[in-house]
Chain A
Amino acid sequence: MRIEFRLPSLGADMDSALLTAWLKKPGDPIAHGEPIVTVETAKGLIDVEAYENGRVVDLIVEPGTTVPVGAVLAHLEVEHPSPTAASAPPRPDATPAVAAAQPSEALPPREAFLPSEAGKPPPSTPSATPRPSAGHPRVSPAARRRAQELGLSQDLLEQSAAGAILHVADVEQLAATRAVTGSAAAAAPDPRIAMRAAIGAAMARAKREIPHYYLGQAVDFGAARDWLARYNAGVPVQDRLIEAVLIAKAVALAAARFEGFNGRFSDGRFEPATAVHAGVAIALRGGGLVAPAVLDADRKDLPTLMRDFSALVTRVRAGRMRSGEFAAATITLTSLGADGADVLYPIINPPQVAIVGAGAVREQAVVRDGQLAIRPTLTLALAADHRVTDGRAGSRFLRAIAELLQHPDTL
């Protein structure tokens, strides 16, 4: 059956994207989970994946074109089309921020929740070094910024990259050998401004639509820290774990047990998820934040989770993401790291219904067994959706995470 392949919404903060490259041509076979096209959004470059098996019939949109969410990009011949798949209709009547905030409408709900069951989970990359994949011209974010300053067009960069990663020096060399008109620089929007606008739109929508409640819980992090130190002392550097992975696993395990915190709210009701895809907030050095998901985080052991998380961070910071990772998250963890503030009060990423914020682990004076003691303490803050749960359920959820972190060997 012939279907329209449309630009899906890849988060609450997206209303359009620039089509940068086709990864398939007419006649090419496609498999579920396979990237078909690369688009550039405020978040960076995202590979949009196929939802079904089949083949490409024709390509409608030329690279270099900016298209709205819902626009038909190509026609595909597929075996078993899902009713709401990439053929979801656009929403011309809605405001951009709201239209962009409905990823569940652009994706088959089951598959959006369980992408790894239906075919290809994103391969984990054991090495921290990003590898260019065949046919994917890549430009580092720093080089992209420099190219913009120098007025080099996107097309020129993509042609020059030819499968390799372009760095700042390559871009400058390119600029030196080209007569640059400067018109490209004038026409292209500043990606940092676009990123801030996208975050602003998504968070304003979250604050407007979601009745947040907030809870905080101090967690004794001594057992987790001791276990981590012992574990890391016994493995080579490439197999080491970081604190955030232990916290992510504890959140994922708790999310699997407490369904009111794991899922999405759409069309006026809560839809619990059957798997836990943990969104992880990743800060970008140029400014901004993205929160793609580590799939099936509750079912992965710590080394696997670490590898997947590590590969995700590397890819995202290199400006390369996959559409499935953005549509999939069922709950999010945001962690400030060692030099962050004590407490992070997070904002829910719609259409999810909960987010856990982790502050920096600090030595604090606490009462333990009736005595004053100095303990490494992690303060977790939960923001959850009052349309789905209330403070008592939230307290149980947070306590479950705290309890899991007392037994790191079982994570």
Chain B
Amino acid sequence: MQTAEIQAKLLDRLTRIAPDIDPRRIVADQDFRDQFDFDSMDALHFAVAVSEAFGIPIPDSDTGQLTSLQKAVDFVQARLASKA
């Protein structure tokens, strides 16, 4: 899967779990917590959404890798590559 495709899918999921976010204002490498006041519930919702969208398991220890859009793209890419 191409990076752009992964990013588009992640953006779609992000705005579904957090409909109060304007997707065009997302800065890819900025922490969600600083950008959108993400809390632990948001972080968990995002992990669930990523897991469902790409069919990859996300161990609890890995949720810390999903803290920005760029980190999430990198994480998904790495997981899909190791799955293939």
Contacts and interface: CB of A to CB of B under 8 A. Distances in A.
Given A237-B47, A242-B40, A285 B21 contact: yes
Given A140-B19, A142-B19, A165-B19, A285 B47 contact: no
Contacts of A318: 19-20
Interface in A309-331: 309-310, 313-314, 317-319
A229 interface: yes
A143 B36 CA distance: 16
Contact of A128 (B24, B45, B61): B45
A284 interface: yes
B6 interface: no
A313 B18 CA distance: 10
Contacts, number: 85
Contacts of A169: 23-24
Interface in A45-62: none
A240 interface: yes
Contacts of A243: 40
A273 to B, nearest CB: 26
Interface residues on A, range: 35 or more
A317 B57 contact: no
A282 to B, nearest CB: 9
Contact of B24 (A168, A283, A310): A168
B33 to A, nearest CB: 6
Given A238-B51, A242-B40, A339-B33, A130 B60 contact: no
A244 B36 contact: no
A337 interface: yes
Contacts of B19: 130, 140-143, 165, 167, 317-319
B84 to A, nearest CB: 21
Interface string B36-54: 1101110011011101100
A147 B15 CA distance: 17
Interface in A200-244: 229, 232-233, 236-238, 240, 242-244
B47 to A, nearest CB: 5
A135 interface: no
Interface of B: 15-24, 33, 36-37, 39-41, 44-45, 47-49, 51-52, 57-61, 63
Given A169-B24, A338-B40, 17 more contacts: A129-B16, A130-B19, A141-B19, A141-B20, A142-B19, A142-B21, A142-B22, A146-B22, A168-B23, A168-B24, A169-B23, A237-B60, A238-B51, A240-B44, A286-B20, A314-B17, A319-B19
